[in-house]
Amino acid sequence: MNRAEPSWTDPAWLPPEAFRPLGTRRTLIRGTGPVAGTVRGEVAEACARFGGEVVRGDGTGAAYDLLLEMGDGGLGEEDFTCARHGGTTTVTASGGRGLLYGLFHVVRLGEKAFAGPRPGEVHRPATAVRMLDHWDNVAVHPVMGQVERGYAGGSLFWREGRARGEPGRVRAYARLLAACGINAVCVNNVNVHATEAHLLTDRIGEVAAIAGALRPYGVRTHLSVTFAAPVVLGGLSTADPLEAAVRQWWARAVRGVYDAIPDFGGFVVKADSEGQPGPFTYGRSHADGTNMLAAALAPHGGTVHWRAFVYDHRQDWRDRTTDRARAAHDHFAPLDGEFADNAVLQVKHGPMDFQVREPVSPVLGALPRTRLAVEVQATQEYTGQQRHVCWLGPMWSEVLGFRPQGGAGPAVGELAGHLVAVSNAGDDPFWTGHPLAQANLYTFGRLAWRPDADPYRVLDEWIGLTFPSAPERLVTGLHAVLDGSWRTYEKYTAPLGVGFMVQPGHHYGPSVDGYEYSPWGTYHFADRDGIGVDRSAATGTGYAAQYAEPWAGVYESAATCPDELLLFFHHVPYGHVLRSGKTVVQHVYDAHFEGVEEVEEARRVWAGLADLVEPVRHTRVAELFEEQLRSAGEWRDQINSYFLRKSGVPDAHGRRIY
């Protein structure tokens, strides 16, 4: 890599050098359409840079090393086959997007794509929609800023109340996404404010311009809308989903959207949650609200993603019978089978809010007759905010591999037809703020394509594409820094699944009781005798019983509950002995000391890679490691001191606790 400065026109995991194996060959391309044209442009640029050739015409009688062709092979629009025989590597697809994904597959393989015979393999995505939700505000919000929970600068799409008008930047972003298999983007915040509401109607042209820049790489555009749009935009007195005038208003609005964006993907809706309007206002169900929008979208082939993040955020902290974790299941499980065919229930992977450790949401196993999307958070709201190294691939892989019915039942990755992540990208030159946070964006795309993929092999792909021809010392060093970083973060923050303990509002840094007496329902209930939330059916909130067996039984008892989730499901004494043989309070002390030590070691490893990483990139990460180490020490000291003072139990190793 020879760039002096980072540039959004040269994405990290697609530097020109990654295309050298392809760009030195003779390539024949057979295909028509806009996305096939993108493939042709990618290959032509690589050949111009490295001396290869795009064969002219239909290639009859010509010799070529790579054949990229569209044909009728019984494949889906995004599927492709890859084979090598007789000295030619052949990628076949029935559509432009499949051809594009096949091209990037060849880039990932590098020289291996052209070495020896390769039996034909069919590659097809396991999930139909692989989407990024951008929590971007058109106008800067006085509290949430330009991007809500954004840690990589401003929005890629919006600035100062209007579209940025930078199609080159958006196209470069689409290229980045297509290279890891992402095929959809929602371009605005799920909390739809007054300005964003108008994107649906009189400002749809701005959305259409963004869609035009995303389209060449097969990325479809989606839009977050407010449920109250007929009132806010249409002058109606009601947004009741069963009112004929409301349904007619939505039908007209949707026609206008498709007139502007014929390949529009659909709507994302947050309703009756955290102050957002919804069908509850009119005594209607979430199925009523969802199906109204689904009916408006259906004639055009659109989909509504209805978020299941619905709970009471005005709880009385003194009332232990109310449990925020129960809310999504309580609201949506009874509605199974009532949602339209083009409606998708978008479920956060855990029952709370993207914590560093949560159980998998029971909703994902409770609606067998409902289309589901799993929502994860690539932006690191509760995992270091892209100031800390925290590669989330292993966590997501655990979620996608969880089997709600246990045994041979289907995994979450098989139950979900769509996979969605809250985006971690912005207008920072490194795209994700922290250069190593790019690994999270890449890993999400690849796991969305194949949920059962080994995340560590996906990380190998990212390293290979980001640092082509990297020496083994760099590969080993990057694995040392990234592989265990999620568990390291867990160690020095919230222990044993208890969650939160963060500064209110911005959620960065420790505050053990920050939310303990708030209305948000995010409690740990630590007292002088113990810690944790009793969510058992026998004596607690009953949340554990929302799971099917065997999980309901596993979580019901502290004796069988996994240690890493113990405090999520049970209130236990500080002297409760874990499977490790440690008491809860000693685990808290040890984990927090270990977490800081592991950050120190990762910082040391990164420092030793300075001669192998371009200076501007190495310097950015090194500076962020200083902040991570400072923050980790703050977490260690505040959490350990809190529990020493609460429990009165000293550290068995006599280390300094304040």
The catalytic residues are 274, 353, 381
DSSP string, 161-202: TEE---HHHHHHHHHHHHTTT--EEE-S-SS--HHHHGGGTT
Residue 394: closest CA among 459, 348, 347, 463: 459
Residue 360: closest CA among 500, 541, 555: 555
Q: How many CB atoms lie within 10 A of CB 496?
A: 26
Contact call for residues 617 and 624 (beta carbons, < 8 A): no
- Residue where the block lists tokens 């799971």: 547
Strand partners, 28: 67
Burial class (CB in 10 A: 0-12, 13-18, 19+), 511: middle
CA 80, 81, 84, 88 torsion: positive or negative?
Answer: negative
Q: How far apart are CA 90 and CA 76, in angstroms?
A: 17
Question: In sequence order, which ranges of 142-285 are alpha helices (DSSP H)?
Answer: 167-178, 194-197, 204-214, 229-232, 244-260
Q: How many CB atoms lie within 10 A of CB 61?
A: 6
Contact call for residues 574 and 530 (beta carbons, < 8 A): yes
Q: What is the DSSP letter of 427?
A: S
* Local structure of 33: helix, strand or coil: coil
* Interacting residues of 538 by C-beta distance below 8 A, sequence separation 6+: 556
* Local structure of 103: helix, strand or coil: helix
* Interacting residues of 500 by C-beta distance below 8 A, sequence separation 6+: 352, 355, 382, 494, 514, 515, 522, 524
Burial class (CB in 10 A: 0-12, 13-18, 19+), 539: exposed
DSSP string, 585-623: HHHHHHHHHHHHHHHHHHHHHHHTTTTTS-HHHHHHHHH
Residue 290: closest CA among 253, 337, 323, 322: 337
Q: What is the DSSP letter of 64?
A: -
* Local structure of 213: helix, strand or coil: helix
Q: How far apart are CA 50 and CA 17, in angstroms?
A: 9
* Interacting residues of 630 by C-beta distance below 8 A, sequence separation 6+: none
Contacts 24+ apart (CB under 8 A), 600-608: 600/629, 602/389, 602/480, 602/481, 602/485, 602/488, 603/628, 603/629, 605/477, 605/480, 605/481, 606/477, 606/481, 608/477
Q: How far apart are CA 13 and CA 463, in angstroms?
A: 8
